[in-house]
Structure 1
Amino acid sequence: MGRKYRAYPTEAQDQILTGWGHTVRALWNVALEQRAYLWKQRRYSLRSAEQCTYLTAARRELNWVNDLPAQAGQQVLRQLDRAYDNFWNPRHPAGYPMRKRRGHRLSVPFPGQAVEVRRLNRKWAEVRLPKSGWLRFRLSRAIGGTIRNATVSRDGNGWHISFGVHTGRKPDAPNGKPACGVDFGVAASAYVSTESAARRMPPSLTDKETKRLRALEQRKARQLSYAKKHQGGKYSRRLRTTIAQIAKLTTRRANRRRDFTHKLTTDLAKNHGLIGIEDLRVKNLTATAKGSAEVPGRNVRQKAALNRSVLDNTPGERRRQLEYKAHMYGSVLVAVPPFHTSQTCAACGLVDPESRKGCGRLFICVRCGHEDDADHNASVEIEARARRTGGSDINSTRSTRAVQVPAVGRRRTREARKPAHAG
């Protein structure tokens, strides 16, 4: 399990941690470049055990590398091993490890043996980090286990300390609770098949915050243009202040979005024995519309706005959280093919786009006359597909009428109306 707390370093610790964060970023990039070069030239796979010897030599020759604790540098190389393992694993969605830019979030990893935590009182605690002393953090919840690793990071709101904790908790037995299907969307953040109303995520930013963010983005563009034209690209103090203000607002937006996502997924995993969702390809779903300044495309700006709305609802993060929370709370997650879930009648199984004219919010089947909210109809269809796919052994206490589920897959399942036979 992960535990994250707000940290409050002193001014001296803030400078030390900032320097270490940039060193970690440079070490990651150099180690990645070394591995890529050896593979390209000699087809040789370099691992952290061998790179640690080069790290020891670099610590003797370079002071800025020597300033970083040795445990942190070794942990960076182990993380690079894990990134390569995920890339080589065909079942893992991770891509090739990427270089970290200067604007990347600062973070310094440590193994669990290198840190020590002591509690000061009910609300405060301290963690001892190598070469920097005791770092205070807000004890907002109990750690509740053995610390395996720790990471100090900084975002727009300040510094945080995260712990990877071994709690010893085992997955719950099957809870035997009702099954459900969930349709994740934009207009309705989530529509559960067992509920009569959609769950909508509150706005991640208020109107005032949205206007302020837009004004700050415009100010940043002007200041960047001035810096490139008159200062050779060097950032001024005002530009850095603007960037920090933008980071604070975007971090606040991400925290509110993450809070809603955690509450939604926890509620679904606790109260249902089978959870059916769509197996969405978010990368393809949010692909940018083609267009350029010379050859403008069609509805490029509209597609960009739709992409932002889809990503704001974080379908990939919701699925990731449901995968481990379902395992934790004794439920089963089933991802079903998403083809025509919004065009399929949950009552008779007919697939016809005319049942949902104009992609509106109302679904009316052209054959049986079944009428329902389009998102709720889709969630019922998702639940039926999940039961057929992996929910046959789930004990559900909710009685549902049998529905005719059409074949799904890349084969088009639309039923064409047969014309009257002439003569």
Structure 2
Amino acid sequence: MRADIGRKYRAYPRAHQEQILIDWGHDARALWNLALDHRLMVGRKHDGSWVWSAEQCVLLTEIRNDPDPSVNWIRDLPAQSGQQILRRLDRAFVNMANPDHPAGTPVFKHRGDRMGIPFTGQAVQFRKLNRHWADVRFPVLGWLRIRLSRALGGTVRNATIARDGLGWHVSLGVHSGSKPAAPNGGPGCGVDFGVSISAWISTESTGRFMHPTLTVGEEKRLTALEQRKERQLTYAEKHNRGARSNRLARTIASIGALRARQARRRLDFTHKLTTDLSKNHGFVGIEDLRVKNMTASASRSRATADTRNRKQKAGLTRGVLDNAPGERRRQLAYKCPLYGSDLRPVPPQGTSQTCPSCKKRDPRNRLRCGREFACVHCGHIDHADRVASVEIEARARRMGDTVTKSTRSLHPEARDPASGARMRAAPAAAR
């Protein structure tokens, strides 16, 4: 049984448990770096394949049995966690070799990176205490108290303990046995994800705005903390040979807490938006965007040599990333089947330049400043984001019709009026 849903709970470790988790987090990072360095050093073997986890797990067992005290940190880390780390490294190499995956070459982890310790489902136990609290048992660590913010809903298949700026969390991969729901029969829609307007849905007359993820006071405090951090880093380099002080550690922790709070607010809006789209629409059309290309740094060529242009590009990049279009697409990809909807990514070229009235695409429709759309052929005037959402819906609808027709052509028996079940199954399979 594979995990098909995820659950994330806030964890409250005791003092001795937190120290164990911190040590394990650093050990997991060191093991990842050691295994990655080993793979890169060996490179491709004579048969043309990389060194995989099956071979490195054998080496890991040999190292754990070695009485040398210099490898005590590997013995301290649970064996299941070490094996899971090597399997995750396998996945990173597979993604790197996949031309359709955006992942690049696996990189080494730094001390300030996210701290996480993976476990298999067989190594953990779950027990519910009451409607608000539960315990999860891990090897060596014992029972760890978690806040039961929602029901588990299945069997635990894997677990990860991680820490961010606000504390420790337990992420559980759960097998619920849920199956894709029947088509909900709702109307289709197109959604244009923007920067000034977070999302404009074609079936609505106004756009949806995401509240600022940081208040004015929090933005001022974040700026002050960033400036303090730079001063403390400069002092450490000049006077302490790079050694970081406890004050610098507290400053970094305060910055991490603000960033984590900002990320949670952004994620809360994203979950509410994607759930509403999936529940209330038969299909959801979105632009097939390449976020990595959109947020690439401005080139220092002659065209962008002006500092002002680079600052504008940096501001636009922050706006795009703050709205998290990649995360919205990821959530829609698994929520749409659960609620009987269909996700349809469409080509993004010219969506805000195509008139919804006369259906003509012309770059001159967007010559004016701001988000105003004015068709030079029929005179239609509207908001550019609304125009884009309507065009996205039209393209998604055409895409669904094309898939349905091709599916029926592959199954001639579906045209038989006596076989109503087959006729209904063809569109469902297309979705």
* TM-score when normalising by structure 2: 0.88
Aligned to 2:371: 361
Q: Which whole-Å CA distance do the structure 2 matches of 1:213 and 1:291 have between them? A: 28
Using the TM superposition, name which of 119-128 and 348-357 deviates more.
Answer: 348-357
TM-superposed CA distance for 1:347, in Å, is 1.1
TM-superposed CA distance for 1:365, in Å, is 1.0
Aligned to 1:289: 298
Matches within 5 A, 1:60-209: 60-61=65-66, 62-209=71-218
Aligned to 2:238: 229
SS at match of 2:385: helix
TM-superposed CA distance for 1:95, in Å, is 2.2
Unaligned runs of 5+ in 1: 395-423
Q: Which whole-Å CA distance do the structure 2 matches of 1:250 and 1:97 have between them? A: 25
Q: Are 2:37 and 1:33 equivalent residues in the alignment?
A: yes
SS at match of 1:152: strand
SS at match of 1:383: helix
Q: Which whole-Å CA distance do the structure 1 matches of 2:292 and 2:369 have between them? A: 22
Aligned to 1:302: 312
User: For residue 365 of structure 1, what is the amino acid of its counterpart?
Assistant: C
Give the one of 248, 252, 256 matched to 2:257. 248
SS at match of 2:43: helix
- The alignment's C-alpha RMSD in Å is 1.6
Q: Residue 291 of structure 1 contacts residue 298 of structure 1 at CA under 8 Å; is this kept in 2?
A: no
Q: Which whole-Å CA distance do the structure 2 matches of 1:232 and 1:181 have between them? A: 56
Q: Residue 350 of structure 2 contacts residue 361 of structure 2 at CA under 8 Å; is this kept in 1?
A: yes
Aligned to 1:413: none
Using the TM superposition, name which of 178-187 and 275-284 deviates more.
Answer: 275-284
Higher helix share: 2
Q: Residue 38 of structure 1 contacts residue 44 of structure 1 at CA under 8 Å; is this kept in 2?
A: no
Q: Are 2:360 and 1:350 equivalent residues in the alignment?
A: yes
- Between the two proteins, the alignment pairs up a number of residues equal to 392
User: For residue 124 of structure 2, what is the amino acid of its counterpart?
Assistant: V
Identity %: 62
* TM-score when normalising by structure 1: 0.90
Q: Which whole-Å CA distance do the structure 1 matches of 2:296 and 2:159 have between them? A: 35
Q: Deviations over 1:246-276 (max 9, x none)?
A: 0000000000001101111111111111111
Q: Deviations over 1:155-180 (max 9, x none)?
A: 00000011000000001112221011
Give the one of 265, 275, 280 matched to 2:274. 265
Using the TM superposition, name which of 151-160 and 26-35 deviates more.
Answer: 26-35
Q: Deviations over 1:36-82 (max 9, x none)?
A: 22224644421111111111122133111100111111111111122
Aligned to 2:222: 213
TM-superposed CA distance for 1:392, in Å, is 5.2
Q: Residue 44 of structure 2 contacts residue 50 of structure 2 at CA under 8 Å; is this kept in 1?
A: no
User: For residue 206 of structure 2, what is the amino acid of its counterpart?
Assistant: A
Q: Which whole-Å CA distance do the structure 2 matches of 1:359 and 1:172 have between them? A: 44
Q: Deviations over 1:279-329 (max 9, x none)?
A: 11111111212239xx65551111111110111000111111111111222
SS at match of 1:346: coil
Q: Deviations over 1:345-369 (max 9, x none)?
A: 1111222233223342221211111
Q: Residue 290 of structure 1 contacts residue 297 of structure 1 at CA under 8 Å; is this kept in 2?
A: no
Q: Residue 109 of structure 1 contacts residue 150 of structure 1 at CA under 8 Å; is this kept in 2?
A: yes
Q: Which whole-Å CA distance do the structure 2 matches of 1:279 and 1:176 have between them? A: 24
Unaligned runs of 5+ in 2: 405-431
